[in-house]
Structure 1
Amino acid sequence: MKINITGRNYKTYQKLNDTIEKKFSRLDKYFADDITCNVVLSKERGLDKIEVTINAKGALFRAEELGEDIYECIDLTVDKLTNQMTKFRGRLRHRYNDNKALKFEFLPDEPEEEEEETRVVREKKFDLRPMDVEEAILEMEMLQHDFFVFLNMDTNSVNVVYKRKGKDYGLLEPQY
């Protein structure tokens, strides 16, 4: 596993980099050699933040943690990623069975619990009106939602605007 460490307004140092390499190398047994792990360290509201993304040729794992101690955040992030792999082991095996990037035999078994069936509990239908991004954000804010689906009049495709942590917004655009 190749680990890329990036600091955004965060000064990294050798001991921290070594700790990150050591902790995330524990996840190496789950993947083939050519997997890349991107680690981004930053400061947010005076707290240390770590964001980790692992792209295993189609299977995407992501975790982030915010706290006062970066080393504690690293441990919690590794635990989150391990739990994701454990929780979704069956689904991953079914979906990515031919994916040579994942080594399913090393994924830990999930504790015996009643398996909750994923189900849709509510359906909602609405008309897609053509609008620009700013109008979609305004509509989302008026509805007090965290996201809003709309027909982008500039690209003539269905887009989603969403509220990010803080005061920023994101835009999801399909790529064909």
Structure 2
Amino acid sequence: MIDYQIRGENISTTEAIENYIKMRLEKLNNYIDANNNPIAHVNLRKYNEKTFKVEVTMPLPFLTLRAEETQSDFYSAVDLVSAKLLRQIRKFKTRVNRKSREKGFKGIDFNEQVDPLVPEEAEDKKLEVIRRKTLSLKPMDLEEAALQMEMLDHDFFLFLNADTNQLDIIYKRDDGKYGLIETENVESSK
């Protein structure tokens, strides 16, 4: 069973709203193993121009599902987010999990149910890399990484964090502030 953490900004989360969100996201239970203790972090926002933004993030082992949608109708936004999450699961299942299972990896246990409302994507669509870059990583602190990113006029920058000796990514957010993605080594079970 999915646990829900529903938060609203400029909108009160009524019982009817929470029940609708749970009803629409309940379909995900058919695909996600309950042993993973899934938690859906749901953020709702109402903007002055009478539009609603629905964001759902579900961290799972080796995968994070995330979708957001902005619509003038709150219920339409929830429906579209639900459909996006189902498509992400299908994409992960057909492209990545199949290869992992062949190697004996057990990350996420997906049931074989198919939702008729979610269109099938082309399963054999080949990944096409159109550009390749090579980086020489020198240790640097966060401020230097931000400066390098700005000098290159990029939205993100991969660097070797001098403090942690790990690969990290600094990125520019839509609000003009910065975000940091810190990496950690994960032991794979064999």
TM-score, normalising length from structure 2? 0.76
Residue by residue over 1:81-137, the C-alpha shift from the partner in whole angstroms, topping out at 9 and shown as x without a partner, is 11222333322233256456321x113596474832114332212322332212211
Question: What's 1:155 paired with?
Answer: 164
49-58 vs 8-17, which moves further: 49-58
Answer yes or no: is the 8 Å Cα contact 1:31–1:56 preserved in 2. Answer: no
> Identity over aligned residues, as a percent?
34
Structure 2: runs of 5 or more not aligned: 186-190
Task: Look up the match of 2:100.
Answer: 95
- Structure 2 CA distance for aligned equivalents of residues 25 and 148 of structure 1: 37
- For 2:79 and 2:108, locate their aligned partners in 1 and report how far apart those are by CA, in whole Å: 27
Does the Cα contact within 8 Å between 1:147 and 1:160 map onto a contact in 2?
A: yes
Letter in 1 for 2:33: A
SS in 2 for 1:142: helix
Other structure's SS at 2:69 match: strand
The verdict on how the C-alpha distance between 1:145 and 1:85 changes in structure 2, with shifts beyond 3 A counting, is same
CA contact (8 A) 2:94 2:123 kept: no
The one-letter code sitting in structure 2 at the alignment partner of 1:27 is: L
Over 3 Å counting, the alpha-carbon distance change for 1:166 and 1:127 in structure 2 is same
TM-score (norm 1): 0.81
Matched with 1:140 is 149
Preserved CA contact (<8 Å) 2:91 2:121: no
**2:43 alignment counterpart:** 41
SS in 1 for 2:22: helix
2:28 maps to what in 1?
Answer: 27
**Contact map agreement 2:170 2:179 (CA 8 A) in 1:** yes
Query: Alignment partner of 1:117: what SS?
Result: coil
Work out the CA distance in 2 between the residues paired with 1:118 and 1:58. 20
Match of 2:75 in 1: 71
Contact 2:166 2:184 in 1 (8 A): no
Question: How many Å separate the matches in 1 of 2:57 and 2:180?
Answer: 19
Instruction: Say how many residue pairs are matched.
Output: 175
Among 114, 122, 141, the alignment partner of 1:107 is 114
- Relative to structure 1, the CA distance from residue 100 to residue 169 in structure 2 (aligned partners, 3 Å threshold; closer, same or farther) is closer
